[in-house]
Amino acid sequence: MNVTLRQLQAFIAVAELGRFHLAADHLGLTQSAISILIKDLEVALKHRLFDRHTRMVSLTTAGAEFLPQARKVMSDLEIAVANVHELASLQRGRVTIAAAIVLAATLLPPVIARFVKRYPDISVQVRDMPEEEIRSALKRNEADLGIGTVSADDPEIQASVLMRDQLTLICRSDHRFAKARQVSWASLAGEGLIGLAKDNPLRGLVDRALIASGVEVKTRYEVRFSTTAISMVAEGLGIAILPENSRQLTTNVDVRIVELVDPVISRNISILQYRQPMLSPAAAKMKEFLMGASRKLS
């Protein structure tokens, strides 16, 4: 059935105004155009909708039954269009961000605070999770944006670099490295390491740096979260190698942050998104806010 919105508009206008020329003036069309639209609609519906009189038209039984349905279709369309306009103008909407644990605790809160102040009707949801789970969350459409590290090329994930941060050594305050300003990777030989889980992109970065430096370090414990690693370091269970922005999580524990050199190893922190769906207006605006925050920090 080939019924168009233009036909419905013409039908409703004629039904409400009672005359073809008044409907034509109302819609900005010629009277002949209105007549053609009504005729085509009647052909599509296989029913006559109007009884034509010399000056007036009146609804047939079929026309009277069809009128409230036509009005509902047009009303629903107007609501749908208004909703899209609201979304596009950021008058409402929702954005979900999947972020690595440390980044969710350090980078995101100030950005979200600025965003919701500017767009109070946008709902922002944060899903803090291990880095290795972010890409899967994006592909399952459980999040619009991800914040983390890309461990390998993934054709389904688009990455926009936010900033770079450096790997640093975290040790307890009474450790032999605690008073040093810098420590080389080679000097870590024989230390007990508290490492992140093997599928975490940061773990791969650390392992490759240790191998390249020819260092043998025993991983005593594997944990999923940086906060757990820091707490274990504070208890003297080993050292940890974590990004420098983990510093913000160490204020309440007795640990030291020492720069790792020879070589300096850095990683990209990126905004991740699934390539397939287009970002919603709210998600696109949040991405813009995040990129703006990275420019201020760089």
Report yes or no: 171 and 185 within 8 Å, Cβ to Cβ.
no
User: Looking at residue 28, what is its pLDDT?
Assistant: 93
**What's the pLDDT tens digit per position in 82-107?**
777 776 768 788 899 999 888 888 88
pLDDT of residue 249: 81
- Please give the structure tokens belonging to residue 296: 């201020």
Cα separation, 211 vs 126, in Å, equals 36
Check pLDDT > 90 for residue 275: no
- CATH number of the CATH domain containing 20: 1.10.10.10
We report the CATH number of the domain holding residue 257 as 3.40.190.10
Residue 105 Cα distances to 127, 150, 200, 233, 249, angstroms: 11, 19, 18, 19, 8
77 lies in the same domain as 131:
no
Instruction: For residues 201 and 260, state if they share a domain.
Output: yes
Residue 230 pLDDT: 93
The total of structural domains in the chain comes to 3
Which DSSP helix (H) or strand (E) runs through 267? strand 266-274
pTM above 0.75, yes or no: no
Q: Please write the tens of the pLDDT for every residue from 118-135.
A: 999 888 999 998 888 999
Q: Tell whether 94 and 123 lie within a shared domain.
A: yes
Q: Is residue 298, in this structure, part of any structural domain at all?
A: no
d(CA 294, CA 298): 6
Burial-class residue 178 by CB neighbours within 10 Å (0-12, 13-18, 19+): middle
* Cα 267 to Cα 163: distance, rounded to the nearest angstrom: 9
Structure confidence by residue, pLDDT tens digits, 129-153: 888 899 999 999 899 999 988 766 7
Residue 190: domain span: 164-265
Q: Does residue 225 carry a pLDDT above 70?
A: yes
111 plus 124 within the same structural domain: yes
176 and 258 share one domain: yes
